[in-house]
Structure 1
Amino acid sequence: MDRLESMAVFARVAEVGSFSAAAKVCDLSATMVAKHVQHLEKRLGAKLIHRTTRRQSLTEVGQAFLADCLDVLARVEAAEDEARERNSQPTGRLRISATVSFGTHVVTPLVHDYLRRYPSVEVDLRLTDRVVDLVEEGIDVAFRFGDLPDSGLVARSLRPRFRLACASPEYLAQHGVPATPADLARHACLLFRDGAPRNRWQFANTPPIQVSGRFVADSGTALLSAARGGLGVALLADFEIADDITTGRLVQLLSDTATQAWPLSLVHLADRRMTAKLRSFVALALERLA
């Protein structure tokens, strides 16, 4: 007899309370149900069910074996579901969350490639700088910066990012090029506001640098525009200024003194079975960004 089938029949007997009731549910004869149970008892060398003319109950061995049976059957079902998912094309709506700047510069091009690769998927990309609740807001996957709390989410580490000091060629021609992080204290710096202006810039292996300037904004895009316009030195994420550095609109400063690494993770809910759309997006993100 098939062992998994016998385990499933035994679990059904325990659930419904009798051989005859299990026979109806399993579409088997009561005799065949009894044979499945007897087959297991013979393999185990122990009684699983106490049977009398009036009632039946699980033995101590039967109770322990039932718990194991239910776990094994659940795992088999999950494995089968996952195999079917892997064999199916990703489809449906995928909800993705990212910060505004990273979402604009990095995630959006990634989504473009993903949609071209999987035409049956719809993407709902939500850009916000607040930390979203994946359960409450129905988010499938999110990009998170910084150290992660123990939230129970599945986290995949991506390539860390860095903030880079930069300025326009026009600004540098007029005010000079800073040679060390300490020189930034004498320059007009463009400050990001997060509650209060971030006027202490931290570079690796150096004390924090106190900076000041006449322009403060709560948007990286606004600071980027100000840097392009020659208003001062900005400290911006590498992905925000990559094109400007390549084209020469901005000059990276202090290239031998990187800022501290900015951890980046891809997170999703802990789930035994990932959908094809989620699995395929995670795979693409890891391929491009890990």
Structure 2
Amino acid sequence: MGPNSFLKVLPEMVAFLRVAELGSFSAAADLLGITPSAASRQVKRLEKEIGVQLLQRTTRQLRLTEAGAEAFERCRELAAAAQDTMALAQRFSAEPRGLVRLSAPKAFARRVLHPLVLDFLARHPAVDVQLIVEDRDIDPIREGVDLVVRLTTEPPEGLVARRLMAVAHILVAAPAYLEGHAAIAHPRDLAAHSCLSLGEHERDNHWRFSRPGEDGVEVTVQGRYIANHSEMRMEAATAGLGVACVPAFSAQQALGEGRVARVLGDWEFRGNYHGHAWILYPPNRFTVPKCRVLIDHLVAHLGTEG
């Protein structure tokens, strides 16, 4: 193999990297903008060129061979180096410019980030933003995303994490629902109500509450509608289907407009999902002016809430 022979298989290395990351030729092909058969051919060409099998293919799944696992790490390093090279000019530019790819969960992106991004774009005309709305965990290094917002109690290792804001969950219900049903003065009263929960895990219908000077309370609830998306639970509550647990940022507008009312506002709701919103990025991303100004903009507007 000649010293420059790797040049002709660079696209094949990228295809192999994406297939290995996503565990699917189809998913990798969608990301790369090619067909699944083309992605498969690229991986086969890479295997032929280097002379070892990288993937074990079955009808159910793809698995990395021992050689494939090592090749995967090398290809990931290569892709990261290429991304750094593409951003090199930004590090030496005094003026922020270029495209920033920012990923965030759907409800948080819509209710919190979107208005702030619009304000940011007005302030920085040379910077563009691609807002990628995804509820799954995005790996910024693997997927070529500059910044990631994640709602969690513990940010992952290997990434720089800056706290944006606390994410509190609250209970809300439509005024018409509250007027037509028994009063809710204590968490135990919820057992007699239709409660809208997530349903992702076994204990998602076990709602816990606390307040100063009292023992914690746990209530098993049930309701007519279960949905694992806060915006949908919010709409169901607005429609009068019951009492919904939602992040406070999802309910802010509806509360302000009077379409829902806070329930048990003197208690702290301790659901299975709480923590903070964090902005995550590889250690070198903050040095890029276009990323730095967006990070600073979000922290300046949200950091006081954390």
TM-score bracket, normalised by the shorter chain, equals 0.5 to 0.7
2:115 corresponds in structure 1 to 109
The equivalent position to 1:183 in structure 2, one of 178, 184, 189, is 189
Q: Equivalents in 2 of 1:95, 1:281: separation in Å?
A: 11
2:231 corresponds in structure 1 to 221
The equivalent position to 2:296 in structure 1, one of 270, 278, 283, is 283
By how many angstroms is 1:141 displaced?
A: 0.9
In structure 2, relative to structure 1, the CA distance for the partners of 1:223 and 1:272 (3 Å cut) is closer
CA RMSD of aligned residues (A): 2.0
Q: Equivalents in 1 of 2:203, 2:235: separation in Å?
A: 18
Q: Equivalents in 2 of 1:126, 1:110: separation in Å?
A: 15
2:220 corresponds in structure 1 to 210
SS in 2 for 1:122: strand
Output aligned runs, 1:191-270, within 5 Å: 191-194=197-200, 198-204=204-210, 206-260=216-270, 262-270=275-283
Q: Equivalents in 2 of 1:272, 1:225: separation in Å?
A: 37
Q: Equivalents in 2 of 1:219, 1:273: separation in Å?
A: 31
Superposed CA offset, 1:203-252 (max 9, x none): 33523321101111232222111111111000111111101111111000
In structure 2, relative to structure 1, the CA distance for the partners of 1:106 and 1:218 (3 Å cut) is same
By how many angstroms is 1:276 displaced?
A: 0.7
Q: Equivalents in 1 of 2:167, 2:151: separation in Å?
A: 9
In structure 2, relative to structure 1, the CA distance for the partners of 1:172 and 1:164 (3 Å cut) is same
Count of residues paired in the alignment: 208
2:70 corresponds in structure 1 to none
SS in 1 for 2:141: coil
Q: Is 272-281 or 102-111 further displaced after alignment?
A: 272-281
In structure 2, relative to structure 1, the CA distance for the partners of 1:204 and 1:270 (3 Å cut) is farther
Output aligned runs, 1:84-99, within 5 Å: 84-85=92-93, 88-99=94-105
Q: Equivalents in 1 of 2:123, 2:167: separation in Å?
A: 26
2:12 corresponds in structure 1 to none
2:62 corresponds in structure 1 to none
Task: Give 5+ residue unaligned stretches, structure 1.
Answer: 1-80
Question: Which amino acid is the alignment partner of residue 138 of structure 1?
Answer: G
Q: Equivalents in 2 of 1:247, 1:114: separation in Å?
A: 26
By how many angstroms is 1:196 displaced?
A: 5.6
By how many angstroms is 1:194 displaced?
A: 2.2
The equivalent position to 1:145 in structure 2, one of 146, 151, 160, is 151
Contact 1:167 1:253 in 2 (8 A): yes
TM-score (normalizing by structure 1): 0.67
Q: Equivalents in 2 of 1:197, 1:215: separation in Å?
A: 16
Contact 2:107 2:250 in 1 (8 A): yes
Task: Give 5+ residue unaligned stretches, structure 2.
Answer: 1-88
By how many angstroms is 1:176 displaced?
A: 2.9
SS in 1 for 2:172: strand
Question: Which amino acid is the alignment partner of residue 159 of structure 1?
Answer: M
1:119 corresponds in structure 2 to 125
Q: Is 215-224 or 229-238 further displaced after alignment?
A: 215-224
Percent identity of the aligned residues? 32
Superposed CA offset, 1:1-33 (max 9, x none): xxxxxxxxxxxxxxxxxxxxxxxxxxxxxxxxx
Contact 1:191 1:197 in 2 (8 A): no
By how many angstroms is 1:113 displaced?
A: 0.7
Question: Which amino acid is the alignment partner of residue 222 of structure 1?
Answer: M
Contact 1:105 1:239 in 2 (8 A): yes
In structure 2, relative to structure 1, the CA distance for the partners of 1:150 and 1:172 (3 Å cut) is closer
Q: Equivalents in 1 of 2:162, 2:286: separation in Å?
A: 16
TM-score (normalizing by structure 2): 0.64
Q: Equivalents in 1 of 2:267, 2:189: separation in Å?
A: 13
Contact 2:187 2:217 in 1 (8 A): no
